[in-house]
Amino acid sequence: MKIRLGYVAMTLNLEKCSPSGTVTVANFKKLPDEEARMYRLRKITRENLSNTLRILRYNKALNISVYRFTSKLIPLATHPLIEHWDYREDFKEEFSEIGKFVKENDFRVSAHPDHYTLINSHSDKVLEESIKDLDYHVKIYEAMGLEDYRYKLVLHVGGLYKDKKTSIERFKENFVKLPDRIRKRIILENDDKSYTAADVLEICKELKIPMVIDIHHHRCVNHGESLLSLLPEVFDTWKGEYFKPKIHFSSPKSEKDFRSHADFIDIGEFAGFLEIAGAIGRDFDVMLEAKSKDSALLQLSNELKNVKGIRSINESEFELERKEGRKEAYAAREREEGTQESTDSSTWL
DNA sequence: TCGTGTCAAGATCTT
DNA sequence: AAGATCTTGACACGA
């Protein structure tokens, strides 16, 4: 079985290569006239797009084919201040060059609208803004010529609003009303506080949404469900999709600051996870959410070369020895322990 | 040049 | 009801 590693938005190994240059509203308003404002907007956009292409070329050189675009490609993209500006037309060539490169190299690219995008909000205003943000992300894909729904948007279920049950119902109601071009891009991830992997899995099964399980978030909040019991069903939600299932992985910053991401991936934790995944015996991709981005990927990649049962194919791809018989062993352990209310870190596997 | 506060955006916990 | 915190990279500003 094969796994691939990817990273988020930026590389630490290219000089002056941020794809997320910004223009703040305050700064934008300070500029003397329309010409100066458009000049600034276009300058930052041009840099963000060309840096994104540089990152993709760098990824290709390193055999890294899983990558998440920044959500900040177009400064102030969904802000009313720039509604009149057709950035897609303006940077047609640049967008299409990125998309062409993605397709030529069969990259798995994705995006993750940030936590202000809430489609289970009870506020019409917030819902409207959220749809606007989703629309922006889809427009970027479309401008790149990535019309195929295989290129996804990762979302969380949203807020609890003091009543999880009705908040989940509201998510479902609002989700099914979304236009195809948005709805068919959305995949769901468990968060670190409110919606557990089991919660999200249930929603995903009902609405036929592919699920991304975040292993770190699962450690932060769960009701004793083991990964081994969740993973096969989570992977099943990807049935019929072009790409293999994807998971998120990160290590906690510290015991005290558990929910925060550490700079690098703890090889012990990752190897432990692969033990479980090896028992399932299915290919999947791993999005690493470490503060040191691609440096963390490269470090993990190096360390994995020394782990027994793992064969390195290149910098970001590995072949795992199938752990025959393990599945039954873990299932037996689970039966013995039963399901328990616990967030004890020793039981997360 | 370096450190610090602020940034488009919401939710939730604390006071 | 108002304020702090969450989280994040980038930037503006001032020392």
What are the tens digits of pLDDT across the range A114-124? 888 999 998 99
**Is the model's pLDDT at A344 over the cut of 80?**
no
Q: Does residue A191 form part of some domain?
A: no
Which sign, positive or negative, has the C-alpha torsion A67, A45, A143, A191? positive
Nearest to A267 by CA among A247, A280, A249: A249
Which has the closest alpha carbon to A178: A112, A131, A146? Answer: A131
A116 touches strand B (CB under 7 A): yes
State the pTM of this model.
0.94
pLDDT at A278 over 80: yes
Round the average pLDDT of chain A to a whole number and report it.
91
Closest CA to A149 of A194, A209, A91: A209
Amino acid at A226: S
List protein-proximal bases of chain C (any atom < 7 A from a CB): 6-13
pLDDT at A339: 43
Distance A12 CA to C15 C1' (A): 29
Whether the Cβ atoms of residue A145 and residue A101 lie closer than 8 Å to each other = no
Task: Report the half-sphere exposure of A178 (CA within 13 A, side-chain side).
Answer: 26
User: Which residues form the domain of A315?
Assistant: 213-349
Which nucleotide comes closest to A161 if you measure CA to C1'? B11
Position A10 in a domain: no
β-strand partners of A311: A319
Q: Is residue A246 part of a domain?
A: yes
Which nucleotide minimizes the distance between its C1' and the CA of A292? Answer: C9
User: Whole-number Å distance, CA A123 to C1' C6?
Assistant: 21
Q: Are residues A104 and A57 in contact, defined by beta-carbon separation less than 8 angstroms? A: no
Find the nucleotide nearest A22 (Cα to C1′): C10
> What is the tally of structural domains in chain A?
1
Residue A327, amino acid: K
Dihedral of the alpha carbons of A145, A146, A147, A153, in degrees to the nearest 10: -140
- Name the residue closest to C11, CA to C1': A22
Domain assignment of residue A94, yes or no: no
Span A42-95, pLDDT tens digits = 999 999 999 999 999 999 999 999 999 999 999 999 998 888 899 999 999 999
**Protein-nucleic contacts, chain A 30-49 to strand B, CB < 7 Å:** none
CA distance A118 to A306: 42
Residue at A278 is within a domain:
yes
- Indicate if the pLDDT at residue A340 is higher than 50: no
How sure is the predictor about A342, in pLDDT bands with cuts at 50, 70 and 90? very low
Six-digit token string for A46: 């041009």
Instruction: Give me the CA A29–C1' B3 separation in Å, rounded.
Output: 26
Q: How confident is the model at residue A33, as a pLDDT?
A: 87
- Domain-embedded: residue A332: yes
- By C1' distance from the Cα of A9, the closest nucleotide is C9
State, as a whole number of angstroms, the distance between the CA of A328 and the C1' of C8: 42
- A326 pLDDT band, cuts 50/70/90, is low
- A202-243 pLDDT, tens digit per residue, is 999 999 999 999 999 999 999 999 999 999 999 999 999 999
Determine phi and psi for A336, rounding to 5 degrees. Answer: -60, -45
The two three-digit tokens of residue A271, written as one number: 């190897």
Inform me whether the pLDDT recorded for A338 exceeds 70: no
The beta-strand segments (E) located in chain A are 2-8, 66-68, 108-111, 152-156, 186-189, 211-214, 246-249, 284-288, 310-312, 317-320
User: Within a domain: residue A38?
Assistant: no
Strand B contacted by A76 CB (< 7 A): yes
Q: What pLDDT score does A26 carry?
A: 85
- Residue A265 in domain: yes
Residue where the block lists tokens 């917030």: A126
